[in-house]
Amino acid sequence: MTTPALELQHVAKVFRKDRDIVRAVDDVTLVVEKGEFITFLGPSGCGKTTTLRMIAGFELPTEGRILIGGRDMTNIPANKRGIGFVFQNYALFPHMSVFHNVAYGLKSRGEDPGRIREKVGNALELVGLAQAVHRYPNQLSGGEQQRVALARVLALEPSLLLMDEPLSNLDAKLRLHMRTEIRRLQKRLGITCIYVTHDQAEALTMADRIMVMQKGKVEQIGTPQEIYNHPRTLFVADFIGQANAIRLRTSGYADGKAWAKVPGGWQLAARTSGGTILEKGTEAALVIRPERIRLEADAQAAGTLAATVAAATFVGSHVEYELDLGEGNTLKATVPYDPNARLHQEGARVGVRIDQESALFIPIEAKQG
Amino acid sequence: MTAASASRIRRPSLALRDPALFFALVTLWLSLGLFIILPFLRLLQATFIKDGALTLANLVKVWGKAYNRRAFSGSIILATGVSLAGTLLAYLFALAVTRTHWPRWVRWLLSSITILPLISPPFTSSISLTLALGPNGMLLKALGLGELNFYGFWGTWLSETLTYFPVAFMVLAAILSAMDPNLDDAAFSLGASRRRMFWTVTVPLSMPGIANSLLLLFGSSLADFATPLILGGHKFPVLPTQAYLQITGMYDLRGGATLSVLLLLPALLVYGIQRWMIGRKSYVTVTGKSGARSNFATLPRGLEIAMVIVCGLVALFIAYLYFIILWGSAVRVWGVDNSFTMEHYAYVFTHGRKAITDTLKIGITSTVLGSLLAVVLGYLFQRFRFAGRKTMEFVSMLNYALPGTVVGIAYIIAFNEKPLLLTGTITILVAAYIFRYYATGIRSVMASLQQIDPSLEEASMSLGAGRVRTFMEVTVPLIIPAVLAGMRYLFIHSMTAISATIFLVSVRWTLLTTRILESMTELQFSQASAFSIVLIILVFIADIVMGWALRRSSLRFGTTQETSYDNTGA
Ligand SMILES: Nc1ncnc2c1ncn2[C@@H]1O[C@H](COP(=O)(O)OP(=O)(O)OP(=O)(O)O)[C@@H](O)[C@H]1O
Ligand SMILES: [Mg+2]
């Protein structure tokens, strides 16, 4: 195996402000292969930016080591790391033209003017802004500023490209466009890339692998499908996509599957998260994706749970139902809209069919949930 | 005024359409006409009209004297020197306070010490420099320098630089801390060294602030009257003192007026450039939503070392100057008999008592009336559209833009004979202060109204409140921080300014500042020091109280109101 592009080993960051101590990043370990596209995903304040800034060298980790291309870079200052960083607000130099913005890093390196002109031209070509060389940042739209910011780091051919919510200042349409644009560039240049976002759609569509964070800790690292289909924790299940969670006590376990009595009165068997063995009587959440639920008009149909429709909302391609299972348990279901069938009305009794293959038991730890 | 309505539709006559607004405008135009336009025109008349005909004879005559030409070039050279040195010093201080990782108390101390010159009367540093470096100077003796004649350019330059650099400090500290720290990070991650980052990012982005503070200091020095009067001496004449001596020494009102018109040209030029620069959209403000919290990059090492030395020495020197004035106020005869005494304070509180109460009366009256007027004008300019609004705004700020000496001379010319015989009355003193120093109030009221969405007032009206009630209960509370900031500025300056009022004082009304000047000219240094200390303490207390009220009111409404101390034309 080749040396990984980036390695974080038990990295932690503690901020001290007055008497406050914040563990912004807590024991993060991650290995990134060359050419990979990784996203950091998590709620606001979970430490994504701080982790990224430590990789860039803007902050020094309180604990742990950072290796880039196999070299220990933990204490190397940012201007010696050769890493590209794209800021949320682009941080273009407002007093320099596009040309000089893009040329800035090359000049720092002391390259000769001819080479600089050539490389700036290439970088701007790459992001499709060759015609804007002489303009100033305040004469560019948000999307164009974004591209200049990208060109500015790409001109340096960095070994690692870091981006902190680069699209969050753009409108929705442009955001979708830039997603594919960035991904296309990254694949074409084969750059290793770390991309911070709190938009799960962005993470799911762009990433090779996602690192989900919460309160400074890593919750799970995996491909988008892994994260979606096999969430390790209730937090991940809930944060990525939507999830119903029914609290239960398991009544048995065998071969990676556990079962428990569901409110309808019968036993439901499902995988356990990560295949962990759940002893009988473990408190666990049964996680079911709303789109993995089907409704039947017959509340008594075999293999279904009887429920009452509490609310039905038509959203175009889908209908979103809120279902009452009794005993305080509710479920959300997202059902494709069929123009030929009638909606289930509020108050109607329906049969709930759960796709047992996709359902998942996640043990509830003492403190969690 | 408060019952006036904002109407944008063209209809026949304002007097019929909106009598309240009409009445308010007429009243305001009359007072602006009386206290700003009339004196200004009379000044021009005294200069350019002789025997009913337009003439340049006065100008030619004044310019013909070599001494006056020296005063003109002296003014320009001094202003240039103060502007350059003050800006450099202010930039180092501003960098130290906003961009270093020095212990917090050090940075706090540095920025606090710059407040002292801002709230002190304009003589303070001249007096203490005299005590330190003048005849019998303490520092001279301590350093064993013997005789050093520092009267003239160098003394004036040093004193003005120390007096005015804090204004530039405020401008530069504001612009330095408003920059986006991400730019530092960006430069850094693009491989720039600290040095390169500083020269290619920090300095270019400070340029608007640097330019502004150069102009500000140039204008302040040009208009300064007190410092050259005490420290300039005969060898180094400048226009304001020359004009003053022409009038008080030779009773030549026309000659004084003409000299002050000479002063007017560079002053208005500077003011014009400044306005033009503010009008231009600055690129510093163009930044998107900022991302993470971040710190500014460390400065180049060499620069930090220079900053430690310069800021340390200057801060120490300022502290020393204030200490020396305190000491000087409590010795029998400075440099001759240094035994402790309170007799000067006793003198201040007996013979000087009238000056204290007069100064307070005038200061308080000016502050109250001036801020009321500022609210009214600011509200009109920001919320109403009427013919001549731009002109009115310009006129209302004119006295602020003019050097104090010019205003003072214009006032004695205009108000020295019947039916407008007002010189020597409290009216004229108060008017001189109000129409000069309410400008900050007007500006901050306008700025804060600009941030208050008119829909708030519309909401109040749609809830059934009348115009008056809306203004009193919605608008006024929201602009209180702005009004307080304006009051603070007005009060400090009405207590300490002298350049305009020196021409207007009389036996009936004396000011602390004129008493200080008298003591200085009589070489009663200790008395001057005691008067200064009392004045500084009065202003300091008032400033702290108003600063506290300002912070409280800003906190309550979640707005921040920048405080402006700027000293132009004190
Ligand atoms: N310079 C700092 N000083 C003190 N605390 C900080 C600093 N920077 C970040 N923090 C704290 O560290 C925690 C993590 O912040 P971070 O910016 O990494 O979050 P984030 O995941 O990027 O959030 P967001 O999605 O809102 O950008 C937060 O609690 C934040 O308040
Ligand atoms: Mg962040």
Please indicate, yes or no, whether residues A177 and A253 belong to a single structural domain of this protein. no
Tell whether B287 lies on the interface with A, counting CB pairs under 8 A: yes
Indicate yes or no: CB of A56 within 8 angstroms of CB of B189. yes
Please indicate, yes or no, whether residues A221 and A263 belong to a single structural domain of this protein. no
Domain membership of residue A299 (yes or no) is yes
- A334 has pLDDT over 70: yes
Q: What is the mean pLDDT of residues B353-381?
A: 92
Residue B562: which residues within 8 A CB-CB, separation 6 or more?
A: B174, B444, B485
The first and second tokens of residue B172, run together, are 């530069």
Q: What is the mean pLDDT of residues A237-263?
A: 85
Indicate yes or no: CB of A88 within 8 angstroms of CB of B290. yes
φ, ψ of residue A335 in degrees (nearest 5): -115, 130
Indicate yes or no: CB of A88 within 8 angstroms of CB of B291. yes
pLDDT digits (tens, 9 = 90+) for B151-210: 889 999 999 999 999 989 988 998 898 888 889 999 999 999 999 999 999 999 898 889
Q: How far apart are CA B555 and CA B559, in angstroms?
A: 7
Please indicate, yes or no, whether residues A230 and A257 belong to a single structural domain of this protein. no
Q: How far apart are CA B553 and CA B480, in angstroms?
A: 7
Q: What is the mean pLDDT of residues A29-47?
A: 94
Q: Is the CB of A55 under 6 A from ligand 1?
A: no
Domain membership of residue A31 (yes or no) is yes
Please indicate, yes or no, whether residues A190 and A298 belong to a single structural domain of this protein. no
Give, rounded to a whole angstrom, the gap between the first and last alpha carbons of chain B: 31
Please report the pLDDT score of residue B91 as a whole number.
Answer: 96
Residue A347: which residues within 8 A CB-CB, separation 6 or more?
A: A308, A309
Among residues A234, A256, A283, the one where a domain terminates is A234
Please indicate, yes or no, whether residues A211 and A320 belong to a single structural domain of this protein. no
Please report the pLDDT score of residue A222 as a whole number.
Answer: 95
Indicate yes or no: CB of A87 within 8 angstroms of CB of B204. no
Domain membership of residue A132 (yes or no) is yes
Q: Whose CA is nearest to atom 4 of ligand 1?
A: A15
Q: How far apart are CA A28 and CA B234, in angstroms?
A: 74
Residue B385, number of CB atoms within 10 A of its CB = 9
The first and second tokens of residue B397, run together, are 């700020």
Lowest mean pLDDT among A224-228, B76-80, B91-95, B273-277: B273-277
Beta carbons of B366 and B35 less than 8 angstroms apart: no
- B11 has pLDDT over 70: no
Ligand 1 mutation pick, A49, A87, A215, max ligand atoms within 8 A of CB: A49
Tell whether A50 lies on the interface with B, counting CB pairs under 8 A: yes
- A114 has pLDDT over 80: yes
Q: Is the pTM of this model over 0.95?
A: no
Please indicate, yes or no, whether residues A167 and A263 belong to a single structural domain of this protein. no
> The domain containing residue A331 runs over which residues?
245-363
- A221 has pLDDT over 90: yes
Q: Is the CB of A49 under 6 A from ligand 1?
A: yes
Please indicate, yes or no, whether residues A14 and A129 belong to a single structural domain of this protein. yes
For residue B287, give the chain A residue with the closest CA. Answer: A89
Q: How far apart are CA B452 and CA B382, in angstroms?
A: 11
Please report the pLDDT score of residue B10 as a whole number.
Answer: 53
The first and second tokens of residue B493, run together, are 């300056």
DSSP character string of B355-411? HHHHHHHHHHHHHHHHHHHHHHHHHHHHH---TTHHHHHHHHHHHHHS-HHHHHHHH
Please report the pLDDT score of residue B279 as a whole number.
Answer: 67
Domain membership of residue A187 (yes or no) is yes
- Portion of chain A with pLDDT greater than 70, in percent: 98
Enumerate the residues of chain A whose CB falls inside 8 A of the CB of residue B289. Answer: 88-89, 168-169
Radius of gyration of chain B (CA): 25
Among residues A234, A258, A286, the one where a domain terminates is A234
- B291 has pLDDT over 80: no
Pairing mode, if any, of strands B49-50 and B53-54?
antiparallel
Please indicate, yes or no, whether residues A46 and A159 belong to a single structural domain of this protein. yes
Enumerate the residues of chain B whose CB falls inside 8 A of the CB of residue A82. Answer: 191
Q: Is the CB of A198 under 6 A from ligand 1?
A: yes
Q: How much distance in Å is there from the Cα of A248 to the middle of ligand 2?
A: 36
Top-confidence residue, A17 or A96: A96
Q: Is the CB of A16 under 6 A from ligand 1?
A: no
Tell whether B286 lies on the interface with A, counting CB pairs under 8 A: yes
Q: Which residue has the tokens 């008009």?
A: A297
Given phi > 0 = left and psi -120 to 50 = alpha, else beta, which region is B335?
left
Please report the pLDDT score of residue B372 as a whole number.
Answer: 92
**Which of the listed ranges A62-71, B232-241, B289-298 does the model predict with the highest average pLDDT?**
A62-71
The first and second tokens of residue B459, run together, are 């909401």
Indicate yes or no: CB of A85 within 8 angstroms of CB of B189. yes
pLDDT band at B141 (very low <50, low <70, confident <90, very high): confident
Please report the pLDDT score of residue A1 as a whole number.
Answer: 61
Question: What CATH number is given to the structural domain containing A167?
Answer: 3.40.50.300
C-alpha torsion angle, residues B288, B294, B295, B298 (rounded to 10): -90
Indicate yes or no: CB of A85 within 8 angstroms of CB of B186. yes
Tell whether A105 lies on the interface with B, counting CB pairs under 8 A: yes
Which of B313, B315, B341 has the alpha carbon at shortest distance from B328? B341
- Rounded to the nearest 10 degrees, the angle between the axes of helix B104-113 and helix B301-328 is 50
Does the fold of domain B329-570 match that of domain B76-239+298-327? yes
Q: Is the CB of A22 under 6 A from ligand 1?
A: yes
Q: Which of B192, B204, B287 has the CB atom closest to A95's CB atom?
A: B204
- B297 has pLDDT over 60: yes
Q: How far apart are CA B536 and CA B509, in angstroms?
A: 20
Q: Whose CA is nearest to atom 31 of ligand 1?
A: A45
Please indicate, yes or no, whether residues A67 and A209 belong to a single structural domain of this protein. yes
- Give, as one character, the DSSP assignment of residue A34: T
Q: Does domain B329-570 have CATH number 1.10.3720.10?
A: yes
Please indicate, yes or no, whether residues A95 and A214 belong to a single structural domain of this protein. yes
Enumerate the residues of chain B whose CB falls inside 8 A of the CB of residue A53. Answer: 185, 292, 294
- A216 has pLDDT over 50: yes
pLDDT band at B561 (very low <50, low <70, confident <90, very high): very low
Domain membership of residue A239 (yes or no) is no
Pairing mode, if any, of strands A160-164 and A192-197?
parallel
Domain membership of residue A240 (yes or no) is no
pLDDT band at B15 (very low <50, low <70, confident <90, very high): low
Q: What is the mean pLDDT of residues A224-245?
A: 90
Lowest mean pLDDT among A243-257, B88-102, B140-154, B482-496: B140-154
Domain range annotation of chain B: 76-239+298-327, 329-570
Q: What is the mean pLDDT of residues B553-569?
A: 50
The first and second tokens of residue B17, run together, are 């359409």
Q: Is the CB of A87 under 6 A from ligand 1?
A: no
pLDDT digits (tens, 9 = 90+) for B411-442: 988 888 777 777 778 888 999 999 999 998 99
Beta carbons of B463 and B473 less than 8 angstroms apart: no
Tell me how far apart the 2 most distant CA atoms of chain A are, in Å: 79
Beta carbons of A44 and A165 less than 8 angstroms apart: no
Indicate yes or no: CB of A104 within 8 angstroms of CB of B284. no
Which amino acid, one-letter code, is at A266? Answer: W
The burial class, CB within 10 Å (0-12 / 13-18 / 19+), for B280 is: exposed
Which amino acid, one-letter code, is at B477? Answer: P
Nearest-CA distance B196 → chain A (Å) = 8
Please indicate, yes or no, whether residues A220 and A272 belong to a single structural domain of this protein. no
Residue A331, number of CB atoms within 10 A of its CB = 21
| CA separation, residue A70 to residues A3, A8, A79, A191, A319 (Å) | 6, 11, 18, 16, 51
Average pLDDT for chain B: 84
Beta carbons of B1 and B376 less than 8 angstroms apart: yes
The first and second tokens of residue B61, run together, are 């005559």
Domain count of the fold of chain A: 2
Please indicate, yes or no, whether residues A62 and A196 belong to a single structural domain of this protein. yes
Q: Is the CB of A214 under 6 A from ligand 1?
A: no
- B406 has pLDDT over 80: yes
Domain membership of residue A311 (yes or no) is yes
Among residues A234, A260, A277, the one where a domain terminates is A234
The burial class, CB within 10 Å (0-12 / 13-18 / 19+), for A45 is: middle
- Give, as one character, the DSSP assignment of residue B523: T
Q: How is domain B76-239+298-327 classified at the CATH fold level?
A: MetI-like fold (1.10.3720)
Ligand 1 mutation pick, A41, A46, A212, A213, max ligand atoms within 8 A of CB: A46
Beta carbons of B442 and B378 less than 8 angstroms apart: yes
Average pLDDT for chain A: 89
